[in-house]
Chain A
Amino acid sequence: MLNYIWLSLIVIGILVAVTIDFRDISTDKFRNGEEIQTELIFDSPTPQLEKGKHYKCNIFIPASEMQKIYGIQLSQNLVQEAEIIVSNSGEAVIKITTDEQSPTIWREHAGAQRKNGDILQGKVRITRMSENGFVAVLILDAVKFVKLNSVTNDGIVRYAKTAVELAIGLIGIMALWLGVMKIAEASGLITKLAGFLKPVTTRLFPDVPPDHPAMGAMIMNISANILGLANAATPLGLKAMEELNKLNKKLGTATDAMCTFLVINTSNVQLIPATVIAIRAAAGSTNPTEILGAVIVATTVSTIVGVTVVKLFARLKIFRKQLEAVSGEL
Chain B
Amino acid sequence: MQTFINITQTLSVIAIPSIIFFIVTYGIIKKVKIYEVFVEGAKEGFNVGVRIIPYLVAMLVAIGIFRASGAMDFLALIISPITNLIGMPAEALPMAIMRPLSGSGALGVMSETINTHGADSLIGRMVSVMMGSGETTFYVLAIYFGSVSITKTRHAVPAGIIADVAGIITLVWLVNLIFG
Q: B46 contacts which chain A residues (CB < 8 A)?
A: 171, 175
Q: B64 contacts which chain A residues (CB < 8 A)?
A: 154-156, 158-160, 162
Q: A178 contacts which chain B residues (CB < 8 A)?
A: 41-45, 48
Q: Report yes or no: A164 in contact with B44, Cβ–Cβ below 8 A.
A: no
State A241–B159 Cα separation when bound (angstroms): 18
Q: Report yes or no: A174 in contact with B48, Cβ–Cβ below 8 A.
A: yes
Measured as residues with beta carbon below 8 angstroms from the partner, the interface class of chain B is 35 or more
Q: Report yes or no: B144 in contact with A176, Cβ–Cβ below 8 A.
A: no
Q: B156 contacts which chain A residues (CB < 8 A)?
A: 254, 258-259, 262-263, 310
Q: A229 contacts which chain B residues (CB < 8 A)?
A: 12, 15-16
Q: Report yes or no: B133 in contact with A295, Cβ–Cβ below 8 A.
A: yes
Q: Which of B128-144 contact A (CB under 8 A)?
A: 128-129, 131-133, 135, 137-138, 140-141, 143-144
State A270–B131 Cα separation when bound (angstroms): 11
Q: Which of B1-45 contact A (CB under 8 A)?
A: 1-2, 5, 8-9, 11-12, 15-16, 19-20, 23-24, 26-27, 29-30, 32, 34, 37-45
Q: How many A residues have CB within 8 A of the partner chain?
A: 113
Given contacts A174-B48, A175-B45, A294-B178, whether A10 and B65 have CB atoms under 8 Å apart is yes
Given contacts A159-B61, A238-B147, A266-B163, whether A5 and B157 have CB atoms under 8 Å apart is yes
Q: Report yes or no: B145 in contact with A254, Cβ–Cβ below 8 A.
A: yes
Q: Report yes or no: A183 in contact with B34, Cβ–Cβ below 8 A.
A: yes
Q: A238 contacts which chain B residues (CB < 8 A)?
A: 48, 52, 143-144, 147
Tell whether A328 is near chain B: CB-to-CB under 8 Å.
no
Q: Report yes or no: B154 in contact with A12, Cβ–Cβ below 8 A.
A: no
Closest approach, in angstroms, between the C-beta of B46 and any C-beta of chain A? 5
Beta-carbon contacts of A280-315 to B below 8 Å, as 1s and 0s?
Answer: 100111111111111101110111011001100110
Main secondary structure of the interface of A (DSSP, over half): helix
Given contacts A186-B27, A298-B171, whether A272 and B48 have CB atoms under 8 Å apart is no
Q: Most chain-B CB neighbours within 10 Å: which of A160, A245, A295?
A: A295
Tell whether B68 is near chain A: CB-to-CB under 8 Å.
yes
Determine which of B59, B100, B150 lies in contact with A6 in the assembled complex, contact meaning CB atoms within 8 Å: B59
Tell whether B90 is near chain A: CB-to-CB under 8 Å.
no
State A159–B56 Cα separation when bound (angstroms): 9
Closest approach, in angstroms, between the C-beta of A24 and any C-beta of chain B? 11
Q: Report yes or no: B70 in contact with A187, Cβ–Cβ below 8 A.
A: no
Beta-carbon contacts of A249-274 to B below 8 Å, as 1s and 0s?
Answer: 00111100011011101111011111
Q: A6 contacts which chain B residues (CB < 8 A)?
A: 58-59, 62
Tell whether B75 is near chain A: CB-to-CB under 8 Å.
yes
Given contacts A175-B42, A175-B44, A187-B32, whether A316 and B155 have CB atoms under 8 Å apart is yes
Q: Report yes or no: A267 in contact with B68, Cβ–Cβ below 8 A.
A: no
Q: Report yes or no: A266 in contact with B137, Cβ–Cβ below 8 A.
A: yes
Q: B150 contacts which chain A residues (CB < 8 A)?
A: 245, 251-254, 258
Tell whether B79 is near chain A: CB-to-CB under 8 Å.
no
Q: A187 contacts which chain B residues (CB < 8 A)?
A: 23, 26-27, 29-30, 32
A/B interface sample: 22 pairs, CB < 8 A: A12-B74, A14-B69, A16-B69, A153-B68, A155-B65, A159-B60, A160-B64, A164-B56, A175-B45, A182-B41, A183-B32, A248-B148, A254-B152, A254-B156, A259-B154, A288-B119, A298-B167, A298-B170, A301-B170, A309-B159, A319-B154, A323-B154
12 further A-B pairs in the complex, CB-CB below 8 A; given A12-B66, A174-B49: A170-B52, A253-B150, A254-B150, A259-B159, A263-B156, A265-B144, A266-B163, A266-B164, A273-B131, A294-B175, A302-B167, A323-B154
